């Protein structure tokens, strides 16, 4: 599988820092730009806006020059290449033309032009302007006469020329031409303000007040260029410094931690060794140092836990082996060889136990007290596992011992109860069904000490529970007495003993097997031998439980009485 492209932490941090520096730099440039505009260009705007122009005195002079603009005579003067010759020709032309006050030589156009020059000079002083131009329009051609003040010698230059498309065809819009604006002309950048001069014949002339800001704008461009270059240099330097710092204080410790983490792998047996814990100590009081210490603590915890787990596993395996041995001992302690008494044809008996844990608390037993009496035991200890197994072995041994003394079932239970109540600090008890079968008479004398009701099938009949009232459990209280019950068996009769693991078996839906289903299953196989009947019962219970867990020991015993002698 193709690995995705990786980006180092330093690269990511550099990108973030560069983006932050660029953002701050752009903001600083914008702020500097605004400050620069206010400091350098705003005064020129205010001067143009605040300049007072004698419009009424200028309108007659503009009207006076209107007939001459665009004529061949003026165009001829304007076409003279030599500046001084052009000025001399213009002066002679001005002296030859009549002015506003009469015919020459009393008043000439020169006098009006000089008056125009005086007015321009007044505006020049007020506004500190570099150039004042009067425009007029005739026959869709635009011409101008100019009064230019040089910053060095304040000389007057007068010229006339066709200015073509300097102004829009539809005339000046008030929003554009009544306020200062930038204008590109002859390679220069001018800040201009147009002032309208309405003429008597309906024509329109304009007075242009302007500043040449070419140098200022060039300096402004240099300022922006320097700012941008400074931003680039600062960004690169910050990136380099950040990369070095990140490499020294972040990347190198992180790579060390990553290397030590990769080397912290389990041994072949799955355990972790203390020799693989990282040895490089990162001495820093920041998150990297905290991470290093946390990783080392985690590794030590993992090693400790694996060591504990190994000990627990070994202990568990040893316990499992011991339990397995205990289960074998318990199984061997119960009768498990069938047929049990082949020399006795008076009965047929079969039993089996499946513990819920490795060892169980249920037990069964059958033994010959003498040649004519058979002891039968079905019991269930109150607990499960090893404690119940030990208690079960003690109870089983006591029952056999006292039964061998030819005591009655009630006397046996009383003696066993007294012994079990001694030093019973765990308060355990056992339910017991104990009976003694007289093989010759076919009679069972039994005691039920808190156990499940047995099921009896008369010869040729069907199974049903023996409805008797059980007594108290064995080991629950000292000095107890039990009532005996006699059960008569005829040849062919069967008795079925069991523990609560049979009726209490649960299926995955939580439904119990129950006594009714147990009796139904017994009657379904009532004609079978004791061994076949128990196998049938186990198969029926397993089919009911399905995949459900076994919560209790499952113990069953079946005895068929065949009579004093085999038929």
Q: How many CB atoms lie within 10 A of CB 508?
A: 10
137 pLDDT above the threshold of 70: no
pLDDT for 528 = 94
Strand partners, 351: 557
Coil, strand or helix at 278: coil
336 pLDDT above the threshold of 80: yes
Spell out a b/e string for 396-429, using b for 16 or more CB atoms within 10 Å of the CB, else e: bebbbebbeeebebbbbbbbbbebbbeeeeeebb
Residues whose CB is less than 8 angstroms from the CB of residue 90 and which lie 6 or more positions away in sequence, other chains included: 77, 158, 159, 160
Across residues 115-136, what is the average pLDDT? 61
List Cβ<8 Å contacts ≥24 apart for 338-347: 338/531, 340/366, 341/368, 344/368, 344/439, 345/562, 345/565, 345/566, 346/439, 346/440, 346/561, 346/562, 346/563, 346/564, 346/565, 346/566, 347/374, 347/437, 347/439, 347/559, 347/560, 347/561, 347/562
The one-character DSSP state at 2 is P
pLDDT for 443 = 95
| 8 Å CB contact between 62 and 134 | yes
120 pLDDT above the threshold of 60: yes
Angle between helices 385-403 and 409-421 (to 10 degrees): 140
Between CA 75 and CA 71 the distance in angstroms is 6
pLDDT tens profile 264-300: 666 666 666 666 666 666 666 666 677 777 777 777 7
pLDDT tens profile 7-36: 566 666 677 777 777 787 777 777 777 777
pTM above 0.75, yes or no: no
Place of tokens 């009726």: 503
| 8 Å CB contact between 488 and 544 | no
455 pLDDT above the threshold of 60: yes
Coil, strand or helix at 283: coil
Q: Is the dihedral of CA 101, 106, 109, 110 positive or negative?
A: negative
Between CA 97 and CA 459 the distance in angstroms is 163
439 pLDDT above the threshold of 90: yes
More confident residue, 543 or 287: 543
Mean of per-residue pLDDT scores for the chain? 77
Between CA 451 and CA 381 the distance in angstroms is 10
Highest mean pLDDT among 122-131, 261-270, 493-502: 493-502
pLDDT tens profile 211-243: 777 887 788 778 778 878 887 788 778 777 777
pLDDT for 364 = 92
Strand partners, 206: 135, 196
Across residues 510-522, what is the average pLDDT? 93
Give ∠ CA 315-318-323 in degrees, rounded to 5. Answer: 120
pLDDT tens profile 31-90: 777 777 777 778 878 877 777 777 777 777 777 776 676 677 777 776 777 877 877 777
Angle between helices 287-333 and 252-263 (to 10 degrees): 10
pLDDT for 537 = 94
Q: How many CB atoms lie within 10 A of CB 361?
A: 28
Quickly state the pLDDT bin for 481 (edges 50, 70, 90): very high
pLDDT for 254 = 72
384 pLDDT above the threshold of 90: no
Quickly state the pLDDT bin for 204 (edges 50, 70, 90): low
pLDDT for 168 = 45
The one-character DSSP state at 366 is E
The one-character DSSP state at 37 is I
Place of tokens 């499960």: 384
Highest mean pLDDT among 116-120, 189-193, 478-482: 478-482
566 pLDDT above the threshold of 60: no
543 pLDDT above the threshold of 80: yes
Spell out a b/e string for 307-327, using b for 16 or more CB atoms within 10 Å of the CB, else e: eeeeeeeeeeeeeeeebeebb
pLDDT tens profile 341-360: 999 999 999 999 887 766 66
Least confident of 54-63, 141-150, 457-466, 470-479: 141-150
487 pLDDT above the threshold of 90: yes
172 pLDDT above the threshold of 70: no
pLDDT for 125 = 59
More confident residue, 395 or 101: 395
Between CA 136 and CA 69 the distance in angstroms is 8
């Amino acid at each position: 599988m193709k690995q995705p492209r990786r980006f180092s932490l330093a690269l990511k941090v550099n990108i973030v820092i560069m983006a932050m520096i660029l953002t701050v730099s752009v903001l600083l440039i914008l702020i500097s730009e605004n400050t620069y505009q206010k400091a350098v260009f705003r005064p020129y705007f205010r001067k143009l806006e605040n300049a007072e122009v004698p419009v009424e005195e200028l309108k007659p002079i503009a009207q006076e020059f209107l007939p001459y603009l665009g004529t061949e005579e003026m165009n001829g003067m304007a076409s003279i290449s030599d500046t001084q010759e052009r000025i001399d020709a213009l002066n002679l032309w001005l002296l030859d033309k009549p002015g506003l006050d009469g015919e020459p030589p009393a008043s000439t156009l020169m006098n009006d032009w000089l008056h125009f020059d005086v007015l321009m000079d007044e505006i020049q002083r007020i506004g500190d302007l570099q150039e004042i131009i009067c425009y007029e329009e005739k026959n869709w051609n635009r011409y101008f006469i100019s009064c230019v003040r040089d910053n060095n010698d304040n000389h007057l230059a007068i010229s006339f020329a066709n200015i073509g498309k300097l102004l829009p065809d539809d005339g000046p819009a008030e929003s554009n031409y009544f306020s200062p604006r930038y204008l590109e002309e002859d390679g220069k950048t001018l800040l201009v303000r147009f002032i309208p001069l309405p003429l008597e014949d309906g024509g329109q002339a304009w007075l242009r007040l302007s500043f040449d800001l070419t140098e200022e704008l060039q300096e402004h461009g240099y300022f922006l260029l320097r700012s941008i270059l400074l931003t680039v240099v600062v960004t690169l330097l910050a990136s380099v410094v950040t990369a070095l710092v990140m490499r020294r204080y972040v990347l190198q410790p992180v790579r060390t931690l990553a290397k030590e983490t990769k080397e912290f792998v389990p041994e072949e047996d799955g355990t972790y060794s203390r020799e693989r814990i990282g040895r490089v100590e990162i001495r820093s009081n920041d998150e990297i140092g905290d991470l290093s210490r946390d990783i080392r603590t985690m590794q030590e915890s993992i090693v400790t836990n694996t060591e504990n787990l190994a000990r627990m596993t070994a202990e568990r395996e040893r316990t499992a082996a011991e339990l397995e041995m205990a289960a074998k001992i318990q199984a061997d302690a119960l009768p498990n060889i069938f047929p049990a008494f082949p020399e006795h044809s008076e009965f047929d008996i079969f039993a089996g136990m499946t513990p819920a844990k490795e060892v169980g608390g249920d037990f069964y037993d059958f033994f010959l007290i003498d040649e004519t009496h058979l002891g039968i035991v079905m019991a269930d200890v109150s607990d499960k596992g090893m404690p119940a197994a030990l208690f079960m072995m003690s109870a089983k041994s006591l029952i056999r011992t006292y039964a061998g003394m030819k005591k009655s079932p009630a006397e046996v239970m009383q003696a066993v109860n007294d012994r079990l109540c001694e030093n019973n600090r765990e308060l355990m008890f056992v339910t017991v069904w104990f009976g003694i079968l007289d093989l010759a008479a076919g009679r069972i004398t039994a005691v039920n000490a808190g156990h499940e009701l047995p099921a009896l099938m008369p010869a040729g009949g069907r199974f049903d529970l023996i409805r008797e009232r059980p007594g108290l459990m064995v080991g629950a209280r000292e000095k107890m007495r039990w009532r005996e019950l006699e059960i008569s068996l005829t040849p062919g009769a069967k008795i079925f003993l069991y523990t609560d693991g049979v009726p209490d078996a649960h299926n995955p839906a939580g439904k119990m097997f129950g006594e009714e289903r147990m009796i139904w299953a017994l009657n379904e196989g009532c004609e079978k031998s004791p061994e076949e009947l128990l196998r049938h019962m186990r198969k029926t219970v397993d089919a009911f439980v399905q995949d459900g867990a076994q919560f209790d020991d499952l113990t069953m015993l079946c005895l068929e009485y065949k009579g004093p002698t085999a038929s």
